[in-house]
Amino acid sequence: MLVRKIWKETLGNFLLRKRVLDYALKNLHPEKPPSAIAFRELCNAAPPQPFVPEYIQVTKQKTKEELEEDERQRQKGIAMLQELKRKYGR
């Protein structure tokens, strides 16, 4: 746990910059794992990037009941539209 804490403190806001982390990972020495400081230096060597936090987006899936309610509302709207067409002759 202590190692994770040290790496987190050393890397700081790089943890929110996926492109910078990707750059550092691609440029690691193939046979020697870096220290937290060496990895931070790799992050600093990355090309300048605008700071845009990249978050995972989770999309809520509708439940069966919500889908059924959506379909009822759609059918109700179609019925109302057909009634207006009959009423006004269009």
Quote the pLDDT of residue 11: 80
pLDDT single digits (tens) 49-84: 776 666 666 788 899 999 999 999 999 999 999 999
pLDDT single digits (tens) 26-35: 998 888 888 8
Find the mean pLDDT for residues 8-20: 81
Q: pLDDT band for 2, please (50, 70, 90 cuts).
A: confident
Quote the pLDDT of residue 52: 63
The residues spanned by each domain of the chain are 2-44, 62-90
Judge residue 20's burial from the number of C-beta atoms within 10 Å of its C-beta, 0-12 exposed, 13-18 middle, 19 or more buried: buried
Q: pLDDT band for 36, please (50, 70, 90 cuts).
A: confident
Question: Between these two residues, 3 and 65, which has the higher pLDDT value?
Answer: 65
